[in-house]
Amino acid sequence: MLPVSVYAFRPQSERNFLFWCLLAVAISGSGALTFVTFSEGWRTGFAPALWATVTATLVIYIPIAAYCREGHKLASGLLPYLFVLGVLAVIWQNQPEKPFLASAPTVWVLLHIGFSLTTYALLTLAAIAGFAAFVQERSLKTKRHTLINMAFPTLAASEALETQLLQYSAGILVVGLLTGVTVHFLQTGSLFELSHKALLSVITLVIVLILLVAQRVSGLRGQKAARLALLAYLMLTLAYPGVKFVTDILLV
């Protein structure tokens, strides 16, 4: 992931052949590690969750980089962040983990996992776009240009990406919550359990919906919208890898 991170900070970086080759290297590396990690079945540990998150985010980033205006420039914030997640996964790769226990039909469990990973990947990208909007608005106010804001998408492009990704995140998060309810019902016979993960996921959905409505009604943009997007990402981070970090590492 480091080569494409460095390339993203080059002046006037483009979606050229070199960019796609470096991105392919990043995806191949994390994808191979994820495949090996989960080759014998689903893993519940903190490190496997991080590798699955990194790979899912990179895969979903591909069409955004290819088709969205200045979407490829999110790499300057995304790839260094994913690199940090990869380092954390390496540090705790040998941490003992709990066995995966699920009595629900495999298809429902896999659907829930797939929608959950997709939601987290989309919200990660939305948070990066929100951070880019935050940096660009601050740069316009201070009239100072730095390497970071020159590498990010423009303010208008960042805000458009943020809104679009939040819309996708909200829709898929709703489906993920519904599949989670289904899995829980098939396992226990009850529809809902007030767990930390469920509560934080619902809070995330509420924050995203509030932000989307505020953008539509009052035209909320810039740093205020970015703060809400980052808050939503923080809530979902606490719900997914955060809970795993506490249960698998801190409480062991």
Q: What is the pLDDT of residue 54?
A: 96
Chain segment 49-74, per-residue pLDDT in tens: 899 999 999 999 999 999 998 999 99
Q: What is the pLDDT of residue 42?
A: 73
CB burial of 194-214 (b: ≥16 within 10 Å; e: otherwise) equals: eeebbebbbbbbebbeebbee
Residue-range domain boundaries for the chain: 2-250
- Compute CA 214 distance to the chain's CA centroid, rounded to the nearest angstrom: 22
pTM of this structure: 0.92
221 vs 170 pLDDT, higher one: 170
Q: What is the pLDDT of residue 251?
A: 60
Instruction: Kindly state the average pLDDT of the residues 103-115.
Output: 77
